[in-house]
C-alpha cells in the first residue's frame, strides 16, 4: 500500500511570525550590524593613532560622531557616519582650546 503524500496548508508553509516579530528581528539585526560597524571604525582609529583609546576618548569620539552626523527628525542618521579620524581631529581641536568635551 502506497503512502499518500502529505497535503500542506497555507499555515504550514507560512511562518508563524507576526509583522511585529519580523520588524523586531530586523531592528535587532540592524543594531547588531551598526555596533559591528562602530567597533570596526574604532579599531581602524586605534590603528591610525597607533595606540589604544581611553574610555573617555572613545566616549568623546562617539559623541562627536553623533553630534556631527546629520539626522532626521526621529534621530536616524541621514548619511554615513562621520569618519572617525575626522572626529579625532575635532576632539583634538576641542581639547587644545580647552573646550569641555
Query: How far apart, in Å, do the first and last CA atoms of the chain sit?
Result: 80
Residue 100 is predicted with a pLDDT of 67
Verdict on whether the full-model pTM lies above 0.85: no
Q: What is the tens place of the pLDDT at every residue in 23-54?
A: 899 999 988 999 999 999 999 999 999 999 99
Residue 94 is predicted with a pLDDT of 93
Residues of the chain with pLDDT > 90: what percent? 64
Residue 12 is predicted with a pLDDT of 72
Amino acid at each position: 500500500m502506497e503512502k499518500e503524500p502529505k497535503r500542506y496548508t497555507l499555515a504550514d508553509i507560512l511562518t508563524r511570525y507576526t509583522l511585529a516579530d519580523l520588524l523586531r528581528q530586523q531592528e535587532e539585526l540592524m543594531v547588531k550590524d551598526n555596533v559591528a560597524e562602530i567597533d570596526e571604525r574604532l579599531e581602524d582609529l586605534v590603528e591610525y593613532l597607533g595606540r589604544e583609546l581611553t574610555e573617555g576618548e572613545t566616549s568623546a569620539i562617539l559623541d562627536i560622531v553623533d553630534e556631527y552626523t546629520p539626522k532626521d527628525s526621529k534621530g536616524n542618521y541621514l548619511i554615513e557616519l562621520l569618519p572617525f579620524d575626522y572626529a579625532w581631529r575635532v576632539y583634538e581641536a576641542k581639547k587644545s582650546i580647552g573646550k569641555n568635551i
